[in-house]
Amino acid sequence: MATKKLRGRSLAQRLAAGAIAIATVGALAACSSGTSSSSGDSGPSGKLQILVSSADASDAAFRAVDAAFEKKYPKVNVVLSSVSNDNYPATKSSRLTAGNVDLFVVKGMWETPSYAKSSESDDVRLAKAGGLLDLSKQSFMKKYTPTVLSAQAIGGKQYAVPTGVSYSTGIYYNKAVFQKYGLSVPTTWDEFTKVIDELKAKGVTPFGVGGKDGWPAGLPMLGSVGSLYPSASDKKALAKSLWTNETKLTDKLPTKVLDQTETVLENAQQGAAGAGYDSIPAGFAAGDYAMVPDGTWNEPTIASAVGSKFDFGYFPFPGSDDAKDNAYLNGKIELQLAVPTSSKNQTAALAWLKFFSQASNYKGFLEKSGFSSAQPDISTSAFLKSIAPYTEKYQPAWDQIWVANNKAGQDAVYPFNYPALKPLGSSTPEQAAQAAQTAWAAAF
Amino acid sequence: MTSFPFPRRSPVRISFGIGLAILTVFGLVPAVGVLVVSFTDLRGLPYLPVNWVGIDNYVTFFSPSKWPDSLNALQNTIIFALASTVVQIVAALGIALLLNRPLRGRNFYRAVVFMPTVLGVTVTGLVWSLMFNVSGGPAKSVFALFGAHSAFFGDPHLALSLVILVQIWMVVGVSVIIFLAGLQAVPEELYEAAAIDGATAWKRFRWVTVPMLAPSITANVLLGIVNALQSYQLTFVLTGPNNHSTQVLSLLVYVQGFGGASGTTLSQSQGYASAVSMVQFVLVAVVSLIALVILRRREAKL
User: What is the DSSP pairing of strand A395-396 with strand A76-83?
Assistant: unpaired
Which chain B residue lies closest to A420 (C-alpha atoms)? B244
Tell if the CB–CB gap between A21 and B14 is shorter than 8 Å: yes
For the cut 80, the answer to whether the pLDDT of residue A25 exceeds it is: no
CA dihedral B140, B145, B148, B150 (to 10 degrees): -10
- Which residues of chain A make contact with B8, given a CB cutoff of 8 A? 6-7
Mean pLDDT (chain B) is 90
| Residue in chain B nearest A340 by alpha carbon | B46
Query: In terms of pLDDT, which residue wins out, A43 or B194?
Result: B194
Segment (H or E) for A18:
helix A11-29
The pLDDT assigned to A16 comes to 52
Residues of B in contact with A443 (CB under 8 A): 65
**Mean pLDDT, rounded, for B274-288:** 91
Residue B114: CA count within 13 A, CB half-sphere: 14
Helix (H) or strand (E) holding A83: strand A76-83
Rg (CA), chain B: 24
| Per-chain mean pLDDT for chain A | 89
pLDDT band at A160; cut points 50, 70, 90: very high
CATH classification of A170-328+405-441 is 3.40.190.10, yes or no?
yes
The yes-or-no verdict on residue B258 having pLDDT over 80 is: no
Domains A46-166+334-391 and A170-328+405-441 share a fold: yes
Q: How far is A130 from chain B (nearest CA, A)?
A: 7
Q: Do B152 and A271 touch (CB under 8 A)?
A: yes
Separation of alpha carbons A125 and A130, rounded Å:
9
Distance between B55 CA and the closest CA of chain A, angstroms: 15
- Asked if A439 contacts A410 with a C-beta cutoff of 8 angstroms, the reply is yes
Read off the pLDDT of residues B113-154 as tens digits, 9 standing for 90 and up. Answer: 999 989 889 899 999 999 999 988 899 999 999 988 899 999
Q: Which residues are CB-contacts of A200 (< 8 A; sequence separation ≥ 6)?
A: A206, A267
Interval A402-437: pLDDT, tens: 999 988 988 999 999 999 999 999 999 999 999 999
Which residues of chain B have a CB within 8 Å of the CB of A280?
Answer: none
**Strand partners for A330:** A395
Q: Do A283 and B135 touch (CB under 8 A)?
A: yes
pLDDT at A1 over 60: no
Residue A29: per-residue pLDDT: 42
Number of residues that make up chain A: 444
Tell me which CATH homologous superfamily contains domain A46-166+334-391: Periplasmic binding protein-like II (3.40.190.10)
Looking at chain A, the whole-number percentage of residues with pLDDT higher than 70 is 91
Q: What residues of B are in contact with residue A419 (Cβ under 8 Å)? A: 242, 244
Taking an 8 Å cut-off on Cβ atoms, the answer to whether A1 and B269 are in contact is no
Nearest C-alpha of chain A: how many angstroms from B6? 7
Query: Do the Cβ atoms of A442 and A409 come closer than 8 Å?
Result: yes
DSSP class of A132:
B
Domain boundaries, chain A: 46-166+334-391, 170-328+405-441
pLDDT of residue A39: 42
> The whole model's pTM is what?
0.84
- Residues of chain A by 3-state class (helix, strand, coil), percent to 5: 50, 15, 40
Q: What percent of chain B has pLDDT over 70?
A: 97
Q: Do B1 and A5 touch (CB under 8 A)?
A: yes
Query: Edge-to-edge strand order for the sheet containing A336-338?
Result: A76-83, A46-53, A103-106, A336-338, A161-162
Answer yes or no: is the ipTM higher than 0.90.
no
CATH of B60-301 given 3.40.50.800, 3.30.1360.120, 1.25.40.10, 1.10.3720.10: 1.10.3720.10
SS3 A396: strand
List, as one string, the DSSP characters of A334-392. Answer: --EEE-BTT-S-HHHHHHHHHHHHSHHHHHHHHHHH-PBPSSTT----HHHHHTHHHHS
Find, in chain B, the residue whose alpha carbon is nearest to that of A86.
B262
Mean of the pLDDT values across residues A8-23?
Answer: 49
Question: Smallest CA–CA separation between B183 and chain A, in Å?
Answer: 31
Confidence of residue A4 (pLDDT cuts 50, 70, 90): very low
Query: What's residue A40's pLDDT?
Result: 44
Q: Look at A218 and A23; give whichever has higher pLDDT.
A: A218
Confidence of residue A15 (pLDDT cuts 50, 70, 90): very low
